[in-house]
Chains A and B, each alone.
Chain A
Amino acid sequence: MIRTLILLALLCLACAVEARAQAVRIDVEDAALEEVLDGLRFSSNINVVFATRLVEGLRTTCSYSGDDPAEALRCLLEGTGLAAERVRRRQFVLRPAAEPSSASTAGPPETLQRVSISGFVRDADTGELLPGAHVYLPDFRVGASTNDAGYFAVPTLPPGDYRVRVSYIGYAPLELSVSTASEPQAFRLQPLALRSEGVLVEKDRSTIEGMPPPSGVVSVSVRELERLPTFPGEQDLLHALQWFPGVQKAGEVNGGLIVRGGAPDQNLYLIDGAPVYHPWHAFSLISTFQTETFSDVKLYRGAFPAEHGGRISSVLDAQLKDGNRDGPSATAAVGALSGRFMIESPLTHRSSFMISGRRSYIDKLIGDKHAVEDASGRRDTLRTGYFFHDLAAKVAIWNGARHRLSATYYRGGDQLDVRLPFDLSLDFSSWLRPADLFFEIDQFWTNDVVALRYQYLLGSRFFTTFTAYHSAYTAREGTVVRPSARAHLLSDYNVSLADLGVKWDAEWYFALQHELRSGVHVVDHDFRSEIDATVVRSAASADTLNEYSRQRGVEASAYVQHTWRPSSRLRIQPGVRAGFFSGGEHVDVSPRVGLQYAPVPDRIMFRAAGGHYVQYMHRLRDRYSYLYDLVSSRWITTGENVRPSRSRHLTAGVEVRPWSGITLSSDVYQYEAQDVLLPEDDFQEKDGLEGPGIDVGAILGQYATADARSYGVEVDGRLSRGRWDIWLSYAGSRSLTRAHEGENGQFRPGRFDIPRTFRGLVAHQWRMLRLSLSLDARSGYPHTVPVARYVLGDALDEPDVYLYRPSINNGRLPAYYHIDLNLQYNFQWVGAEWNASLQLFNITNNRNVIGRQYIPQATGIEIRDRRGFPLLPLFEIEMRI
């Protein structure tokens, strides 16, 4: 925190130096007023905005020497019938003087009428609101960004006409003259034809006038994300985000998202303000987030502002599309794993909708139920069912520009229904026979999100949003195992997580330099799990396990966030978030701050951010039993025996645009967390039927409290010239953990410590064909390497040979990399726009080592490697009408 304050002080000092007073010297006689005012701008850094018609033909005589700009302007305007109104430091607007007596004064601001330029920024084709668009007044060098509802306000301006530039990544900038008005205005941006022009990054974003995102924030248009190659060749938001340094999927075939060294359960995933607990399908192979269904995506890679809380590593804030307001449109696609669709259309002139769906189809190809019969006529049914699905829908209703109501529904999940004989071997023919000895697995897990959001614009300077949501995660693991004629296992395990929350957020644009955002968030967490299991080993030996666990807790938080622009080059965003959690009655106050400073406007921007973060829940998993927690995502809340995790973030960086089409950026960061939970025994794996049970105390006993620390540097360079797009990024980082007890108080490499990551993408557009080659390379994950072996006996058994592993994660798997080739071809056919893509994943067929096992032998050691995906051809055909 001290370091954060020091950084804040340094940047404030820079601001003060930049804005120090300058001397003003005027000595003119019967000179054209317009020329004198222009000269004043350059000689004295006094910015005077005026309409040309006001000063046409006016002449002035003035002699002034001093350091008061208002006095200097009073001298210049004397007798012209005009007055200069101070907008902010060294910035004035000319207006006709109301009365002769006040015509020559700068005038006290409180006596003058103040109005705003405000409005909504939309996509010109679809009418979709564009959150995060930049609105800039070049004469004042002030700007604003649209909020999540696409709204902006530049308040406290004198009435008049102003030049306004509106820009957004992937859209043609809009420049026009706008009159101040009491009603919000509409600005429609024309999307660039990305597909045909081969634009990967916004070509026109050669300036930093709108202040790029703060340090650590990934804010890119969905159109840009859609163009990034993802595995397995289908639209996947979380895979696309991995192109940004510091973001990494934990495993090639499993695991969550690792952001700057944080753990997967420390990320908050939001859809329209509602959390999603398990955003993965197919055992974490792909995510539940379909890129094209979102209108805006922001990923805070740490150091997020006060408006967000509840997790300690990162926040993904995604907004579903409202639906096309101008006319119906539809998208349909078939990929290697699934088929998907999206339909959007206006419903009435005041409402629109969007509905999208996705479903895997492997079960439809091979079937999910198979009737089998042996030679004796005995019949059986084998089941091989698996699919995942997503359904997202949103309806938006608006009444004028001031009222907007939206309802969001999302449901996604996986269903696994398998009944097989006990020979799950590659000899498929052996499956197709009736079997006395079999196992059945019936598993499903779903996310259900319902969110209602009402947005109201009061005047032009007060924007408020009410959100109510219910988010549930439900999982079931049903198992029947019959390994012998007289033994069997029946298990039914259920997990449900439910959040019922309300939020109120308000934005107050109370001055040109100041914007205040505040809010309250209350959520009720209800976490339950239940197991009903029977293990029959013989007629006389049967064990039962019937347990029920429930945790409830109310989390309440409030925040205030101030955006202050003391000069056109500096933006400071201090904030504070206070939270309370009923479990354990924890109270936390978390200060946050963000800074952006552009010493050379349009070209160079420095940025820094820091803050304190709290998380009142942990995701845990039983590490002993096969009866439960196989695929479920189970969370527990803090309480008397479980402390909340707390973290501190500090990040700083620079973004440079030396030439048009080239963006270079670099960030450094440090993240420290306390009271995270790590496995108490790193070597423990599920190896039995009955474990310690599902009671929270039993599962907590398998974990130890620990500290985590990560730090790193990220370098990112993008070039977009002509038909070429090049994107290179490098991340050097360390991620360390230290258990509170044992290990001599030393930090050791964490499970996902990745010292080096390099990603590169080279793309070329040739007419309708886009060819790209991408590389994803990183250090291998840490793992524990034995250093010796020894023999040790037991009181009842013969001695065994063991491998000596004195320290955890003392080694590292071989470096991981894959090179992918992507081909995309766009064409028109039967009135639709088609996009056919072919991805050759891992074209060098490099079988990466993703796991390694050491087997002790009597006289040596045997190493067994687990390998990643080989070369895979993946495809997708998409149609848009």
Chain B
Amino acid sequence: MRRTICIAASAVVLTLIAACGAVEPKDDEDLVVEAFAHSGQPAPEILIRRTVDLSTGGAELTAEDVDVELSIDEDVIPYERAAPGRYRPLMDAISPPGAEVRVTVSSAMQHLVGTTTMPPPIEIDSISVVVPPEPVEAVLLDSLSLAPGTSVTGFLYMIEVAVGWEDPGQDGDWYVRTQLAADPSAAPLVIDLFLQSDQTLSETVVPLSSDGRRRWTGIYAVRVESADAPLPEHQLRVSLLRSGRDYARFAWSRDSPDRREPKGNVDGGIGIVAGISVDSLNLTIQPSIEP
């Protein structure tokens, strides 16, 4: 009898303390919209994907049976499927600065709408690169993970790049994204806090020179093997992008896929619809040679 009572009591206790944390898997897929309309250029190609169940292999699932259209102010531009998940406009149309662009995606289950305003064009009009004469010793990998052997020090050339462009004036609340993409790149976690190779910020906080030009200075690093190793010749792509607040929120939130998903601006689904203006330059960086 006692044993029965003990077993029953144990069962009750286990039932009480057991916490069911199961999460229902998502049966139906959600549409994912990716549309970047370039200011002053023809209507963009739009990518439509679907979410993939976590238990399913493969990373990408494109959406094939959706209706896509884009409107520039009052003009509606129909789209057609060009390739799996890729939709292209059926007519030529330019998205001028200041125009409102709306992307509509419809399927049997979902209706998605994303809206953006086209920014003024942007153009890099000056670049200066400062290459130090020798590398500096630096931490290359995360030293705070408490895992043996994860701390690695080495030598880096810390290269400064200053980018200048014309200020758009009082025309709107714009954000710029500046990016220094070097190949080969060094992107160690700890040192990354002290680099500045990719930044999205309000254009108004970028230092303004007396001639009305914005000037941003970034730093990227190239790893070398020793303290006396020369800087290897490498390619550097300098990109400058102007867009609105929606894109800025997207850019700020998209760099930690393990922690979060990017903040989009598509009602009824996932994704980003952003009007952008972009300029980029490819440089060859050589030791002791000004580009």
Contacts and interface: CB of A to CB of B under 8 A. Distances in A.
Interface of A: 422-427, 430, 436-437, 483-487, 489, 535, 537-538, 540-541, 626, 683-685, 687-689, 730, 755-756, 758, 777-780, 785-796, 799-806, 810-815, 817, 853-856, 858-861
Contact of B261 (A689, A756, A804, A811): A804
B136 A486 contact: yes
A796 B193 contact: no
A779 B22 CA distance: 12
A430 B16 CA distance: 49
Given A801-B59, A804-B261, 11 more contacts: A437-B137, A437-B153, A484-B158, A538-B132, A683-B260, A688-B193, A730-B16, A785-B23, A802-B262, A814-B21, A856-B257
A128 B253 CA distance: 59
Given A487-B194, A683-B259, A425 B146 contact: yes
Contacts of A484: 136-139, 156, 158, 191, 194
B194 A535 contact: yes
Given A424-B144, A790-B50, A792-B49, A540 B191 contact: no
B189 to A, nearest CB: 10
8 contacts: A437-B138, A483-B139, A484-B139, A487-B191, A540-B217, A787-B25, A788-B51, A799-B34
Interface residues of B, number: 80
- Chain A CB count within 10 A is highest, among B143, B145, B219, for B143
A626 B193 CA distance: 10
Contact of A791 (B32, B136, B147): B32
Contact of B16 (A758, A805, A812): A758
B54 A756 contact: no
B23 A756 contact: no
B132 to A, nearest CB: 8
Given A484-B191, A815-B19, A804 B26 contact: yes
Interface of B: 13, 16-26, 29-30, 32, 34, 36, 47, 49-54, 57-61, 130, 132, 136-139, 143-151, 153, 156, 158, 160, 177, 179, 181, 190-191, 193-196, 217, 219, 239, 241, 243, 247, 250-251, 253-254, 256-262, 270-272, 274, 276, 278
Nearest to A484: B138
A695 to B, nearest CB: 15
Contacts of A801: 59, 257
Contact of A425 (B32, B50, B150, B158): B150
A540 B258 contact: no
Contacts of B239: 796
A796 B59 contact: no
Contact of A424 (B17, B143, B191): B143
Given A792-B34, A804-B261, A812 B194 contact: no
A860 B54 contact: yes
Which 9 A-B residue pairs are closest in the complex by CB-CB distance? A812-B21, A423-B151, A779-B19, A484-B138, A683-B260, A485-B136, A788-B51, A787-B26, A777-B17
Nearest to B227: A485
A812 B20 contact: yes
A817 B13 CA distance: 12
Contacts of B270: 790, 792, 804
Nearest to A849: B21
B34 A537 contact: no
Contacts of B262: 792, 802
Given A786-B54, A860-B54, A687 B150 contact: no
A92 B241 CA distance: 92
Contacts of A426: 146-148
B21 A813 contact: yes
B54 A423 contact: no
B146 A811 contact: no
Contacts of A487: 136, 138, 158, 191, 194
A195 to B, nearest CB: 30
B152 to A, nearest CB: 8
Contact of A422 (B36, B53, B151, B195): B151
- Chain A CB count within 10 A is highest, among B23, B29, B181, B270, for B23
Contact of A755 (B19, B61, B243, B258): B19
Contacts of B193: 483, 626, 688-689
Contacts of B18: 815
Contacts of A485: 136-138
Nearest to B195: A537
B167 to A, nearest CB: 21
Given A425-B151, A427-B148, A788-B52, A758 B143 contact: no
B29 to A, nearest CB: 7
A790 B52 contact: yes
A538 B36 CA distance: 34
Contact of A859 (B49, B58, B250): B58
Contacts of A778: 17, 19
Contacts of A489: 194
A860 B55 CA distance: 7
A803 B261 contact: yes
A805 B144 CA distance: 28
B205 to A, nearest CB: 11
Contact of A537 (B24, B219, B247, B274): B219
Given A425-B147, A689-B193, A792-B34, A780 B21 contact: yes
A538 B241 CA distance: 24
Given A425-B148, A785-B23, A800-B257, A541 B160 contact: yes
Nearest to A789: B52
A595 to B, nearest CB: 30
Contacts of B256: 687
A687 to B, nearest CB: 7
Contacts of A538: 132, 158, 160, 219
Contact of A855 (B151, B190, B258): B258
B11 to A, nearest CB: 13
B59 A788 contact: no
A865 to B, nearest CB: 13
Contacts of B241: 795-796
B151 A430 contact: yes
Contact of B137 (A424, A436, A803, A817): A436
B204 to A, nearest CB: 15
B258 A792 contact: no
A801 B160 CA distance: 31
A795 B136 contact: no
Nearest to B38: A795
A427 B138 CA distance: 19
A505 B202 CA distance: 55
Given A538-B219, A788-B54, A483 B26 contact: no
A802 B29 CA distance: 14
Contacts of A854: 258
B143 A427 contact: no
A792 B271 contact: yes
Nearest to A690: B193
B147 to A, nearest CB: 7
Nearest to B256: A687
- Chain B CB count within 10 A is highest, among A541, A755, A780, A811, for A541
- Chain A CB count within 10 A is highest, among B49, B51, B146, B149, for B51
B183 to A, nearest CB: 13
Contacts of B190: 422, 483
B156 to A, nearest CB: 6
- Chain B CB count within 10 A is highest, among A626, A755, A802, A858, for A802
Contacts of B145: 425
B230 to A, nearest CB: 17
A109 B160 CA distance: 95
B258 A856 contact: yes
Contact of B149 (A422, A427, A780, A791): A427
Nearest to A436: B137
Contact of B278 (A684, A790, A795, A805): A795
Contacts of A437: 137-139, 153
A787 B191 contact: no
A799 B59 CA distance: 11
